[in-house]
Structure 1
């Protein structure tokens, strides 16, 4: 086996490992971004814990196929970047979608989230979901509101009784 083939197989295993580990994988067409724009995008993604890579499409397709993501092959045409979200499956979609609004050359192609294939429309819909921390805060807030109201009610009853006794 030649060194070139070994290098390609190693790269396929690397991509496959990242795909297995990631909760959200978003494919995007990046052609036309300036170096400054690409650097800014990478910084935004890195801050959110998202890994952003450009691999050869053939190698990415092989890795996806080995994992049973056959649909991913149709997304891998032309210059494609891959964003891997390891902790928050919505982060790559959210950041790329937000960035694409100001930079029209960045185009979302599709993705794989929690093992399910998402087309471009589904990825854009996914991008509207708030981060996990925000959802948890909203949930806790909805739990807290009725309890707070109940405490205020009890406090009001207590104060009313105190004023009647005085």
Structure 2
């Protein structure tokens, strides 16, 4: 017996909510996977905050309809589709899926969607090269910590250069006076 219209509307609302929390969606063909294998995939994705949703293509099509961020997903909606929804750790989620794919050899990545753009499998794989959120935060913190050090070095350099400049004034003044005196002597002779 099929689902009622109210149940389908509730499922679509749930999909929309989960899509709103995601930044990347990966569409895979999961044909041939057992329930245990789907459970294994979900458990591999859970530590990186990603989710694997198995739903009918028509329900996902309704969920993304009119949403410019996710609408490109419609080109991947065919046959048996599962959706990996990734909130932030792209590299971790893609690596977890790739490890699962190697272990089972049953799934095929059709592509992904991010920021309103359809992505090929190669483009999705390229996202693993990006630094994680934590790595970016560490780099920014390192740069922010370097700023006071550079300011302190600069501040310490100013008095040193000022002292060297002040020390040069008498010597420069003496050379200038000698040059004027030598010029006056030549003019007198």
Pair in the same fold by TM > 0.5: yes
Match of 1:79 in 2: 80
Distance of 1:19 and 1:100 partners within structure 2 = 23
Query: Structure 2 CA distance, aligned partners of 1:136 and 1:94?
Result: 21
Aligned to 2:95: 94
Moved more, 30-39 or 45-54: 30-39
More helix by share: 2
The residue number in structure 2 matching 1:17 is 17
Q: Deviations over 1:90-110 (max 9, x none)?
A: 443332123223332121111
SS at match of 2:4: helix
Unaligned runs of 5+ in 1: 148-166
Aligned length: 149
Q: Does 1:65 align with 2:78?
A: no
CA drift at 1:121? 2.0
C-alpha contact (below 8 Å) 1:97/1:124 kept by paired residues: no
The 3-state SS of whatever aligns with 2:89 is: coil
Aligned partners of 1:109 and 1:120 also within 8 Å: yes
Larger Rg: 2
* Cα distance change on mapping 1:116 and 1:9 into 2, 3 Å: same
Whole-Å separation in 2 of the counterparts to 1:138 and 1:40:
34
Report the Cα distance in structure 2 between the residues aligned to 1:141 and 1:23, rounded to whole angstroms. 26
| Whole-Å separation in 1 of the counterparts to 2:6 and 2:103 | 41
Structure 1 126/132 Cα, relative in aligned 2: closer, same or farther at 3 Å?
same
